[in-house]
Amino acid sequence: MVGQQLVGNLIQGLVLGGVYGMATMGLSLIFGVLRVINVGHGAFIMVGAFITMWMFTALGLIPIIAIPVALIVGMALGFLFFYTAVRRLINAPELASLLATFAMGMLLEEVIKIIFGTEFRGYNWVVGKLTLPITVLPMSKVYAFVGSVAIATLLYIWFNKTRAGTAVRSVVEDSEGARVCGVNVDWVYALSFAIGIGLTVVSGILLTMFIPVGINPYMGGQYTLKAFVIAVLGGLGSPYGAFFGGVIFGLIENGSYTLFALIPGVVPFALTRFLSFVILLVILLIKPTGLLGAK
Amino acid sequence: MRAQREKYYPLIPVLAGYLILFLIGREVTGMWQLMAMIAFYCALGQAFNIFLGMTGYVDFGYVAFLGVGTYGMALSISRLWRVEGLGIGIIPIGLVLAMVMAGLLSVAVGAVALRLRGAYFAIATIGVNEGFRYLIEGAKIWGGSEGIIFSGQMKKAFGKATASALSTFWADVMVFSIAVIAACITIYYMRGKIGYALTALREDEDAAKVMGINVTKYKIIAFITSSSLAGLLGASAWALKLTYVFPPDAFEIHYTVEAIIIVLLGGAGTLLGPIVGGLVYGLSKYWLAVIMPGFQLLIFAPIIIFIIVAFPEGVIGWVKRRIRGTALQNYFL
């Protein structure tokens, strides 16, 4: 009985984990290239969630159409924040970039709050169900998972097969060396930041499939924290590591929830969160390059 | 002897500042609450600055120490109020407990997180803060997510009048005292061996190590000092004043961010910075809340970004640079 429930929850966790992974790729890309931690990460996810919710409820457009819109909005926000602030903080002490990105998140939260208010909202995209022997998955979640895998693959191809992607990789390796070889390092910084933010905003769309009534200006905080754990799991700075870190995290989150629920007198949901931060600390201590890190 | 005394001249403007704030609060009717709020922000910045300003390490989970301190006082009142003959003695017990608990947590966190640097340290400390909060909620420690409400017990233990005086006056006096203590410790550290060691560490940790400086020892000292003061601050400004504690409030990351803003605004690693930062931040927060309630954060956010980009050295950092070589420089640190 418990075994069946566990397997069912793990399948759900796998699907959610893929989306978590995609939602962390932007954070890892930005850290990998610019060495800046985006503490306002969750706020950009929130923006994506609001874009898709607004398009669905006000315009009747399905979330798939929201993806290009979110990507454009996200990249525009990325370029805007990069040229106004982040550019000057790349080599500044952590203090400055941590606080600045936090303030960016705060700014987005407050703007969305003024437009939409603080009550929890949501929408439900009904497109059938996928019935497996053990558990039932709504098709919307399946699409979100497929979307995450597709986006992660596209990023992989862009990174490894195009000129721009090669330039980004060269900056990650050695920014001075790349500059000497004629790579426009400042443009690589700007582009990576914009793509990172764009991916994060898009991931907000995919995440709304899992939170039918959880859309709120301040919803991002918990995703920032989850993204930190996932990014560290996958090795900070590695976008693909982040994707697989997300899958592992989704499995751990759902699996441990099932097991914690067996212990009487505790709150399994909170213990799941506690466990994730224990994992974070353990990995930072014993293998800061992440579970999949090569170095 | 004279040089010995001159070392501590920069304390004069700091102490004068706190005295002026205190007197305005006492003498001008209706100002006490505002001055108490400003004092809280100054004390928060002053305590945080001992670690962040001197080492350059960003503890993003600093609020955890305030939260634990709040629990220290809450536990002491809610568990000991029935004990005969303790009376008002519960308060010092609570303060000591708050300091010890925050200190112990900082030893545990320091042992783990202080091995990490830069971004990794910041992430680890966020993890500790959130992890601790969810441990309390998940394992239902200290009342779990329901927290501890002890206003009734406070009234029964001390009597209505005393309990109310504790919340509305003595808690704030404690906050002022903590700010002054933190300032004294700051200058003592800055003028001592530890200050030089930490300056070397902040500039180049590896070089400092090679020079034979025991960087770990001094980092831990600064970390424990800063955290214990945060525990005291939580016990007075939060526990005694609010007479309840809930995990989501006690571990709210926004307070860490406020502390960072205050330190950065005034100038990280300066003695006078936190009081200037706390004053500017407290006043503008209060003023914005009055003139346009609900929009404070919207206005604050771009201002913060602007300050980081344009004035990374803070007000006092800037002033110090302007007055270098003049007689005033002996009084600014």
Q: Per the structure block, which two tokens stand in for B52? A: 């962040």
Contacts of A86 in chain B (CB under 8 A): none
Residue B84 has pLDDT above 80, yes or no: no
Evaluate whether residue A274 is within a structural domain: no
In chain A, DSSP finds a helix count (H) and a strand count (E) of: 11, 2
Residues 52-81 of A with CB under 8 A from B: none
Q: Give pLDDT, residue B2.
A: 66
Residue B329 has pLDDT above 80, yes or no: no
Cβ-proximal residues to A34 (8 Å cutoff; 6+ apart), any chain: A86, A90, A189, A192, A193
CA distance to partner chain A, nearest, from residue B50 (Å):
15
Would you place residue B177 in the very low, low, confident or very high pLDDT band (cuts 50, 70, 90)? very high
The CATH class given to the B2-331 domain equals mainly alpha
Q: Give pLDDT, residue B1.
A: 60
Would you place residue A292 in the very low, low, confident or very high pLDDT band (cuts 50, 70, 90)? low
What is the model's pTM? 0.89
**Residue A115 domain boundaries:** 2-223
Query: Cβ of A83 under 8 Å from any chain B Cβ?
Result: no
Query: Cβ of A282 under 8 Å from any chain B Cβ?
Result: no
Best residue of B49, B130, B201 to probe chain A, by most A CBs closer than 10 Å:
B130
Mean confidence (pLDDT) of chain A: 89
pLDDT digit string, tens, across residues B98-117:
999 999 999 988 888 888 88
Domain boundaries, chain B: 2-331
Would you place residue B193 in the very low, low, confident or very high pLDDT band (cuts 50, 70, 90)? confident
Instruction: Report in angstroms the alpha-carbon separations of B227 from A27, B46, B145.
Output: 30, 11, 24
SS3 of residue A138 by DSSP:
strand
Residue B242 has pLDDT above 50, yes or no: yes
Query: Cβ of A110 under 8 Å from any chain B Cβ?
Result: yes
Q: Give pLDDT, residue A23.
A: 93
Class of residue B259 by CB neighbours under 10 A (exposed 0-12, middle 13-18, buried 19+): buried
Average confidence (pLDDT) over B242-253:
88
Category of A131 on φ-ψ map: left (φ > 0), alpha (ψ -120 to 50) or beta: beta
Q: How many CB pairs under 8 A join A and B?
A: 138
Total tally of structural domains belonging to chain A? 1
Q: Give pLDDT, residue A147.
A: 92
Residue B143 has pLDDT above 80, yes or no: yes
- B57-66, B169-178, B223-232, B288-297: lowest mean pLDDT where? B288-297
Name the residue with higher pLDDT: B41 or B146: B41
pLDDT digit string, tens, across residues A88-122:
888 888 888 888 999 999 999 999 999 998 888 88
CA distance to partner chain B, nearest, from residue A70 (Å):
22
ipTM for this model: 0.85
Distance from C-alpha of A79 to C-alpha of A201, rounded to nearest angstrom? 13
Q: Give pLDDT, residue B198.
A: 85
Distance from C-alpha of B50 to C-alpha of B47, rounded to nearest angstrom? 6
Query: Cβ of A89 under 8 Å from any chain B Cβ?
Result: yes
CA distance to partner chain B, nearest, from residue A10 (Å):
21
pLDDT more than 90, % of chain A: 44
Residue A295 has pLDDT above 50, yes or no: no
Residue A228 has pLDDT above 80, yes or no: yes
Question: Which of B145, B268, B308 is nearest residue A100 as measured by Cβ atoms?
Answer: B308
Average confidence (pLDDT) over B222-249:
91
Q: Per the structure block, which two tokens stand in for A102? A: 């936090």
Name the residue with higher pLDDT: A282 or A195: A195
Chain centroid to Cα A108, Å, comes to: 17
Evaluate whether residue A206 is within a structural domain: yes
Q: Give pLDDT, residue B151.
A: 84
Mean confidence (pLDDT) of chain B: 87
Question: Which of A114, A265, A280 is nearest residue B298 as measured by Cβ atoms?
Answer: A114
Rounded to 5°, angle at Cα A13 from A8 and A18 = 140
pLDDT more than 90, % of chain B: 27
Question: Which of A88, A92, A267 is nearest residue B138 as measured by Cβ atoms?
Answer: A267
Question: Which of A104, A271, A281 is nearest residue B112 as measured by Cβ atoms?
Answer: A281
CA distance to partner chain B, nearest, from residue A65 (Å):
30
Evaluate whether residue A236 is within a structural domain: no
Class of residue B317 by CB neighbours under 10 A (exposed 0-12, middle 13-18, buried 19+): middle
Average confidence (pLDDT) over A243-253:
91
Closest CA to B50 of B156, B182, B244, B233: B182
Evaluate whether residue A293 is within a structural domain: no
